[in-house]
Amino acid sequence: MGMTQKADRDQIRRQNRSVVLQALRRNGPQARIDLGRITRLSPATVTSITSDLISEGLVAGVEDDCQREREKGARGRPRSLLALHGPAARVLAVKLSVNTIEMALADYAGRLVGRDVAGFDSTSVTADGFSEILIDSLRAFIARTGGVAPSFIALASQGVVDDSAGTVAWSPAFAVRHVQIVGPLARAFGVPCLLSNDTNMIAEALHRSDPQRYGGTFAVLFVDYGVGMGLFINDRLFVGETGAAAEIGHANHIPGGALCRCGRRGCLEAYLGDYALLRHARGLDLQTPPACLPVGRETIRELIAAARAGDPGTLEAFHAGGTALGYAFARVIATLDPRRIVVTGAAADAYPLMEAAALTALEEGLVSDLRGSVEIEAIAWEEDLILRGTVARALHALDTEVFSETGYGNQREMLGG
Amino acid sequence: MGMTQKADRDQIRRQNRSVVLQALRRNGPQARIDLGRITRLSPATVTSITSDLISEGLVAGVEDDCQREREKGARGRPRSLLALHGPAARVLAVKLSVNTIEMALADYAGRLVGRDVAGFDSTSVTADGFSEILIDSLRAFIARTGGVAPSFIALASQGVVDDSAGTVAWSPAFAVRHVQIVGPLARAFGVPCLLSNDTNMIAEALHRSDPQRYGGTFAVLFVDYGVGMGLFINDRLFVGETGAAAEIGHANHIPGGALCRCGRRGCLEAYLGDYALLRHARGLDLQTPPACLPVGRETIRELIAAARAGDPGTLEAFHAGGTALGYAFARVIATLDPRRIVVTGAAADAYPLMEAAALTALEEGLVSDLRGSVEIEAIAWEEDLILRGTVARALHALDTEVFSETGYGNQREMLGG
DNA sequence: CAACTTTTTTTCGGACGTCGAAAAAAATAA
DNA sequence: TTATTTTTTTCGACGTCCGAAAAAAAGTTG
């Protein structure tokens, strides 16, 4: 607690195994000599570690491209490429949202083995009962994709997640609170199980896709039907003490301001959520209850179209949303001094409509000396980003926590190596 | 970048040396057997490491209390206590504020060797010129306290610090910006040099005083003439990408709100700073320029006295300040989900006057599900906390970064062992 | 086509750090 | 003086990394 832990011999090997696995995951198939350059381990050590990993079935040689890649006239012994061995393990990634369980299965090499969607009734499930529905859906999905048991399960859910309890504390996906997830799943499948906020998984996906650009300390603002935030701090996903960090949607923007879905006044979401934009666009009072507004999947797209067509009320709504967004930038920067802020989500396509107001608000909300050299960037929203991030996180957990453990040899057959 | 680093043998020894040094620093003089229990290292390893440290002059045996401590009737070979050896090194801690350079010198065992205050003219120093004044003051101070050169210098400054540049970007302590500190000092004294925000050093002091209580992720809100924040994330001081994290004083509280010293409207400080409280207590308009208000060292104390005497305007000012504080709590909790928030500073004595408003605001500003199990605590302000934290940080840096390096034997004489 | 060059991979021996077990040391108790 | 207890040190074993040398696997050259 607080003090650095002691180190011992085993730890060295664990860490270096993990470093080699991560190097292969990040850079694709590599020759041993290049693994040495990437990891700064000596060639001798690379040979030692990779021969362990090969005999454990986690890594395998690639015969395929060996000669094709070779430049003409290259002399010397040709490099033999090593790659993560797909069949070594499978990971199951799950995304929970309203009425929907989205599932993806990937092998250890990161190839997608299958994906599917199951439905459930968000309004009727109970806190204890949902896990059975979930387990059944996952079992059926696994059976359909070959019946190979996963080695790791990672889940992403809308709403507020309680890390230590392994529950969804509060979410639009469930009418009830404290929905049990991790415990029942880990028992049912007998494998490690990780539950996260969905927006965090966007940050994870970005980080894995380009660790240089999306690294250090950066924030993702997810502007969609609601507003979420994903946070990387010092190159690691940050979830806070209970897993509820980065819940900026219901952080206050203006004390006593617009009425929010959560019943409070002035939340950021009450200016940026789908219902908030619609409410403003229609010229309704800011205290109009969100439940009175007809929002759906199409809402945001329709609003963007209306604004592009020049509808003044809708433009004004995006302007107000942009102002709220800009103050959110200012507060995040003042608190965390990040390297980058990424805006995405269904409403990210509308960022050009909000940008001017957002930058003005940022200037009004933060002394310029504090703005550091932060870059603000809107990226087009892809629905798959969340599930991709969840897969990436599961694979990373295998690399660093499961397969870093030395002596995985016996389990090879079980996993289908 | 992003990927975990490789580990090797040297690193093990470095880490374990550092773990032993930290165990001695945190728990005071210890026998080898107890060091083994604390660090989870084997007795054999403890002997090996401590004998190195002793021969390098970093640790020394304590003959003194050996027998006094012994319980009557205790059998067996008596434990021989080891302690950090004071003369092994000295650290210099410096606090920069308006017109004032506060200095403290401590030995490696953490004992205060001397302290002093020097003055300078905040309004007239230049960005490049201040370092000379600083170096002269420090040289004179070192000469007065025995002339032993320090092994490490840590500085804390009011305002915004730029970590990578080693400058004070912007501060009430200087009329100019980007005041050079680290570079000139490191060159002049030839030792490592660390510059921090002063509020961060409060967090550091609390963490070192009780790592259990002030650990994990926690925030310190420093309410004084202005408002600052210090942040610990995952047991480590967090300063952001450029060192400007946790600058909550000029984060926006209410868009377009009260006029702040920085020229913007609605900053948290414009409701909680000394001038803000005074402005409100006197019933002045919120747009009254802060420069028009006669604030000084006594202001806060006088306001507290007036409020305790029942002055309605002053009570109302603290109420408004409390509301701003409560919204600040809400925003920090929503962003970081900390274990604890500590309120301190000259205005901390007034926390009872603000608490009711703060808790109401917290409730209005944050869904209860997000409140987690955060504890909010006001602690009485001690002026020395900042300098104590700066000393602690310097010593910790020696333990983990300088003396963890194996083979310090040759330098012993230089350092005065 | 055999000898040489180049590059990658493996093997070997040395160094070093941790650990468990045994020995040594330093006290009290009998 | 001898036994007991507790702490500290010593010793040998084991594991890991590394540098150097050897082996392997190609292309190049005469």
Same-domain status, B198 and B241: no
* pLDDT reading at B207 higher than 80: yes
**pLDDT class of B4 with cuts at 50, 70, 90:** confident
A251 with A362, same domain: the answer is: yes
- pLDDT above 70: percentage of residues in chain A: 94
**For residues A80 and A66, what is the distance between their CA atoms, to the nearest angstrom?**
6
- Please enumerate in sequence order all residues whose Cβ is within 8 A of that of A339, keeping only pairs 6 or more positions apart, or say none: A215, A216, A217, A218, A373, A374, A375, B241
**Given this model, what pLDDT does residue B297 score?**
85
Q: What is the mean pLDDT of residues A183-209?
A: 96
CA A178 – CA A81 distance, rounded (Å):
48
DSSP, collapsed to helix, strand or coil, labels residue B326 as: helix
Please tell me whether residues B114 and B255 are part of one structural domain.
no
Q: What letters, b where the CB count within 10 A reaches 16 and e where it falls short, cover B381-400? A: beeebbbbbbbbbbbbbbbb
B139 and B170 share a domain?
A: yes
Residue A207 covered by a domain: no
| Per-residue CA distances from A28 to A23, A35, A213, A310, B215 (Å) | 8, 10, 19, 47, 39
Look at residue B167 in the predicted model and tell me its pLDDT.
96
Local confidence band at B406 (pLDDT 50, 70, 90 cut-offs): confident
Compute the nearest-CA separation of B399 from chain A (Å): 11
Residue A268: predicted pLDDT: 95
* Model pLDDT, residue B296: 84
Determine the average pLDDT of the residues in A137-147: 95
Å between CA of B76 and C1' of D4: 8
| 3-state secondary structure (DSSP) of residue B385 | helix
Q: Which residues span the domain enclosing A368?
A: 225-378
Same domain, yes or no: B167 and B268 = no
- CATH classification of the domain holding A151: 3.30.420.40
A216 lies in some domain: no
Vertex B267 angle, CA A347 and B339, to 5°: 75
Question: CB distance B266–A177 less than 8 Å?
Answer: no
Counted across chains A and B, CB pairs separated by less than 8 A come out at 232
Angle between helices B299-308 and B274-281 (to 10 degrees): 40
DSSP A267: B
Q: What is the pLDDT of residues B224-273, one digit of tens each?
A: 989 999 999 999 999 999 888 888 999 999 999 999 988 899 999 999 99
Q: What share of chain A is helix, strand, coil (3-state, %, to 5)?
A: 45, 20, 35
CB B303 within 8 A of CB A219: no
Q: Whats the size of chain A, residue-wise? A: 417
Nearest CA in chain B to A8: B12
Q: Tell me which residue in A39, A240, A334 faces B251 most closely, judged by beta carbons.
A: A334
What's the rounded mean pLDDT across residues A99-104? 96
Residue B319, classified by CB atoms within 10 Å of its CB into exposed (0-12), middle (13-18) or buried (19+), is: middle
* pLDDT exceeds 90 at position B25: yes
For residues B149 and B121, state if they share a domain.
yes
CA-to-C1' distance for B18 and C18, Å?
16
Q: How confident is the model at residue A416 (pLDDT cuts 50, 70, 90)?
A: very low
- A368 vs A193: which has the higher pLDDT: A193
* Residue B273 identity (one-letter amino acid): G
- What's the rounded Cα separation, in Å, for the pair B260 and B249? 10
β-sheet bridge partners, residue A112: A106
The count of domains in chain A is 3
Pick the closest to residue B194 from B154, B157, B152 (CA basis).
B154
Question: Span A195-221, mean pLDDT?
Answer: 96
Assigned domain for A22 exists: yes
* Cα(B57)–Cα(B416) distance, integer angstroms: 9
Could you tell me what percent of chain A has a pLDDT over 90?
A: 79
* CA pair distance B94, B82, nearest whole angstrom: 30
Q: Whole-angstrom Cα distance, residue B25 to residue B15?
A: 15
In a domain, A339, yes or no: yes
Tell whether A213 is covered by a domain. no
Per-residue model confidence (pLDDT) at position A65: 54
pLDDT class for A408, splitting at 50, 70, 90? low
pLDDT score, position A368: 78
For residue B415, the model assigns a pLDDT of 34
For B235, which residue in chain A has the nearest alpha carbon? A2
Q: How far apart are the first and last CA of chain B?
A: 39
Averaged pLDDT score across all residues of chain B: 91
B70 burial level (CB within 10 Å; 0-12, 13-18, 19+):
exposed
> What pLDDT score was predicted for residue A3?
67
Classify B179 as helix, strand or coil: strand
Protein footprint of strand C, defined by Cβ closer than 7 Å to any strand atom: A 6-9, 31-34, 43-44, 46-48, 50-51, 74-80; B 9-10, 12-13, 16, 40-45, 48-49, 73-78, 406
Q: Are residues B277 and B165 in the same domain?
A: no
Task: Round the CA-based radius of gyration of chain B to a whole number and report it.
Answer: 24
- For residue A41, what is the nearest residue in chain B, using CA coordinates? B6
- CATH number of the domain at B33, please: 1.10.10.10
- Confidence check: pLDDT of A412 > 50: no
Helix intervals (H) in B338-411: 351-365, 385-397
- Do B255 and B399 share a domain, yes or no? no
Report yes or no: A31 and A80 within 8 Å, Cβ to Cβ.
yes
Same domain, A76 and A102: no
How does pLDDT run across B57-80, given as a tens digit for each residue?
999 999 765 455 666 677 889 899
